Structure 1
Amino acid sequence: MTETTPATITVTTLTPHIACRNAEEAIEFYQKAFGAQLLMKMNIPGDGRVIHADLSIDGARFYVVDEFPEQGGKSPQALGGSPVMLSLQVEDCDAVFAKAIEAGCTVQMPLADMFWGDRWGLLVDPYGHSWSISTPKQRLTAEEIREQMSTIDMSAGCGSPA
């Protein structure tokens, strides 16, 4: 019998686990669009579907799986969209945004300097997942953010200066 070492949790994490129609293709896309590294992948023998893929974008981890509708695992494409947004904070959001668009993402909201102090924009990948890409530009207090927000026309989403 082989002895195993018990797993220990050293830090609390929250890792998105996203379902994609054609996960193999999606993994390649995330590598191209965001520079993701594939850390590990498992496919179901005989079936070939990805049951687990562990990816990292500069240390930010996320998991990708194929759709498993027979178990309730549906992609945004099957559901007609997703209420979840993946938020990626990077050093140079302009470069990451441009690379993601070139790879095939669609712009939902163009990059702009936002009232909360970040340069921020929103993309949708070819698999229906929304990605907010941002770079912090100013550290603002909650009160400063409220003041900035009061000058914004929110009818346009996150707003532009009034």
Structure 2
Amino acid sequence: MAFGPNPPPIQAHICVKGGTDAIAFYKKAFGAECPFHALAEDGKRVMHANIEVFGGEVMLHDEFPEFGGGVLSPSSRGGASVTISINLPKPSDVNAAIARAEAAGANVVLRAEDTFWGARYGQIQDPFGHIWAFNAPLQETNP
């Protein structure tokens, strides 16, 4: 099913060049699950996929330059225009997420470091051109 019963109020919908490979990468790098994906009529490109990751959901699809609006990935556009931010509970989770993504083939854009805003923060670029940022508070907060 492409649309579950409780969709989040905001979802990222990313375009990639190589949708099937992207799904495999996100599974390996982030421990993602893909409960739904559908291929285009050509039987090769991903028309739509739902990727469950870090307690949220990202939708993705392959490039479709034949559609209006220039549906192209960051790889074809020359870079990403947004950063996908992941908020994690502990500083060590940031280190672990970046290490796992790097081992799966991501490039580290910014090694994890403690920041002036009181967080552990770092960024990776996935093989499809998207930037993912990982953020966790340095001190645990009590609700």
TM-score, normalised on structure 2? Answer: 0.85
The number of residue pairs the alignment matches comes to 133
Q: Which amino acid aligns with 1:132?
A: A
Preserved contact between residue 54 and residue 86 of structure 2 (Cα < 8 Å): no
The 1-side partners of 2:118 and 2:107 are apart by: 24
Preserved contact between residue 77 and residue 128 of structure 1 (Cα < 8 Å): yes
Preserved contact between residue 117 and residue 139 of structure 1 (Cα < 8 Å): no
Distance 1:45 1:104, change over 3 A: same
Q: CA deviation at 1:90?
A: 2.0
What are the ranges of 5 or more consecutive residues in structure 1 without an aligned counterpart?
Answer: 1-6, 141-162
Q: CA deviation at 1:139?
A: 7.4
Structure 1 or 2, whichever has the larger Rg, is: 1
Partner of 1:147: none
Which deviations, in whole Å up to 9, do the C-alpha atoms of 1:41-88 show, x marking residues without a partner?
011234431110001113210011000111221000100001110011
The 2-side partners of 1:82 and 1:46 are apart by: 26
Distance 1:46 1:108, change over 3 A: closer
Q: CA deviation at 1:11?
A: 7.1
Partner of 1:86: 84
Q: Which amino acid aligns with 1:57?
A: V
Q: CA deviation at 1:138?
A: 3.5
Distance 1:18 1:103, change over 3 A: same
Superposed structure 1 runs of 4+ greater than 4 Å apart:
9-12
Larger RCO, structure (CA 8 Å, separation 6 or more): 2
Within-5 A mapping of 1:123-134: 123-134=124-135
The 2-side partners of 1:48 and 1:12 are apart by: 28
Out of 18-27 and 55-64, give the one that drifted further. 55-64
Within-5 A mapping of 1:51-66: 51-66=47-62
Preserved contact between residue 15 and residue 62 of structure 1 (Cα < 8 Å): yes
Q: Which amino acid aligns with 1:34?
A: F
The 2-side partners of 1:59 and 1:97 are apart by: 17
TM-score, normalised on structure 1? Answer: 0.75
